[in-house]
Amino acid sequence: MKAVSEIPGQQTTAMERVMQVNIKEYLNETGLEEQMYPGKRVVKKLPQPGEHKSHCVVYDWRAPDTLRIDIKAGLSGKDLNRKDLGKYPISFQAPTYLEIDTSDAHNQNAAIEATDEEEGDEEGEEGSSGKGGGGGKKPAMKKNMFAAFSNVVEGKIAELGEVKKLVVMGKEIAKEAFGSVMKVIAAQIKNAAVVPVNILASVTKVTVATPGGRALNELAQGQIEGADVKYKPKDMFGVGGP
């Protein structure tokens, strides 16, 4: 996937590697047509035939330093109560989401803007009479905040982000698997049908199993090799499923 790349740097272990993503390109790969920017939340509905099969993708950038992409049961984009959620396939009953940290990109943009302003201030001060020491520089933090706000207003939206967390069916994915899993997620969203159980099937490394989810070693080997694995109804819907 072109949108995702590993940031080269000092010697690190596989678990310490940092994954960088081109935000605009990745959102395009998911088929999102609306422009995303800090402060915005978009719900992409993925209606499916059959009762309690429809789901949605929530793109949430209301926190300016974090873009979160959630797969949720239903079409409202809201968290369902336990009773209603229990009517959906089990693969939607545990959280599946992606978190991208955009703080570094925003800080870099703000710092560049602030530096330009400071250089302009210095040039102006050199030509001033210097009476009373008036004027002076604005606090750097205030300038950075103003610059970050200006970036959004002027359309200078963060292009790059660092993938911080990726969870599929309640299981936290290892960093070295981020790229391949994100590619599967983007393709499924674009095809208007997300199947978390098959996303998990493409994963060979899981770092943390959250409460309520089965540990990786409890899955049969054939269920974790390749995304085209066919699951029995009980794996998809629970023992009482069709």
pLDDT along the chain (242 residues), means of 10: 55 54 96 94 96 97 95 97 96 96 66 48 48 50 48 68 96 92 96 94 66 43 37 37 35
CA distance 149 to 156: 9
Single-letter residue type at 153: V
User: Are 222 and 177 in the same domain?
Assistant: yes
- Among 153, 169, 192, the domain-final residue is 153
User: Are 36 and 93 in the same domain?
Assistant: yes
Number of compact structural domains in the chain: 2
User: Looking at residue 50, what DSSP letter applies?
Assistant: S
User: Are 18 and 81 in the same domain?
Assistant: yes
Is residue 242 assigned to a domain? no
Would you state the pLDDT for residue 160? 92
Assign 70 to helix, strand or coil.
Answer: strand
- Among 117, 134, 153, the domain-final residue is 153
Query: Which string of DSSP letters, residue by residue, matches 173-240?
Result: EPGGGHHHHHHHHHHHHHTT---HHHHHHT-S-EEEEPTTSPPGGGS-GGGSS-TTPPPPHHHHH-TT
Is residue 177 assigned to a domain? yes
User: Are 91 and 165 in the same domain?
Assistant: yes
Q: Are 170 and 95 in contact (CB under 8 A)?
A: yes
pTM: 0.66
**Which domain covers residue 127, as residue numbers?**
104-153
User: Are 141 and 215 in the same domain?
Assistant: no
